[in-house]
Structure 1
């Protein structure tokens, strides 16, 4: 049995979900971003208890097929960008089609109508959040960040960054306050 969870965007989220599953007495085989594979179907009371506990800490069990699909799209994009999963230089549309076994145009239309922005815009926002993170660490040059994030040039990165944040990457790096967004709020 599969469970799908909204707002599960990082490794710490996975640890929190594991803790909640154990607390609810629900056995699982595997947990990845947004998805849990269970050993067997839990009792309704266990699921209700899990759902209450997850909701209290900012997560949500998903029932709707379209919501599950949207969450899968988001988690694939987050994995590609923030977890440096290799896309083998494939276009995002091809990766989504391959992983979800669905037509990209359907996925794109569903995502846009549900989220109010395109998959491409969501991807850009995630990339910019990753760039902010790398800038905050101050370990890589802008050129290295552009290369790691697969921008065609530093200029392209800078233009997209300024368009999204209103700041140049250099101005952002010089800020004293952290203006990064949590991944589930992007």
Structure 2
């Protein structure tokens, strides 16, 4: 049996990890590591190709998608960004670019070019979209001051957060909160 690194699109939260773990375990895979965007493990009974096809079908039924080649790296980058933005316990003492480079083991500039070619947008754009979406959630679902939300989203200042937020939404964070309406968008559609 050959250990495989499998990249999975649309994993955006801890529940996704649980869902993928359930499918993989039910299919008889041995898991070495499972994290957002990536599974490392061994297929059942050494049937690498058949097991991968069945796994892909099962995951597709849940809204996930297997990626191969550079796409797998892109899936991992997306998973890292989602974890960095939405996990309040994430280590944000290092820059996102350093985190991505260290996790994948390649230069950020190379990964950035690969991501842009595959996705048609930059890592920075993907990160910005998720930060703004998380900001919307926090503004509506908490009573935290905008300055605290700014810190949670790793903006250098409340003014910078407000400027980016207004550029994306057409209103200030305070006006958005006062409006009180927000419909969450699925993270895999951002």
TM-score (norm. length: structure 2): 0.87
* Residue segments in structure 2 that go unaligned for 5+ positions in a row: none
Instruction: Report the counterpart of residue 151 of structure 1 in structure 2.
Output: 155
Runs ≥4 residues deviating over 4 A:
none
- Which of residues 37, 40, 59 is equivalent to 2:40? 37
The size of the alignment, in residue pairs, is: 183
**Counterpart of 2:53?**
48
Match of 2:87 among 83, 88, 105: 83
Structure 1 residue 25: Cα displacement: 2.5
Distance 1:180 1:154 in 2: 23
Of 98, 120, 124, the residue aligned with 2:124 is: 120
Shift of 1:14: 0.8
| Aligned equivalent of 1:5 | 8
**Distance (Å, rounded) in 1 between the aligned partners of 2:183 and 2:169:** 9
CA contact (8 A) 1:25 1:46 kept: no
- Secondary structure of the structure 2 residue equivalent to 1:180: coil
User: Any residues of structure 2 matched to 1:8-19 within 5 Å, and which?
Assistant: 8-19=11-22
The whole-number CA distance in structure 2 between the counterparts of 1:52 and 1:109 is 30
User: By how many angstroms is 1:94 displaced?
Assistant: 2.5
The alpha-carbon distance between structure 1 residues 26 and 41, as it changes in their structure 2 partners (threshold 3 A), is closer
Q: Give me the CA root mean square deviation.
A: 1.8
Map residues 18-29 of structure 1 onto 2, 5 A cutoff. Answer: 18-29=21-32
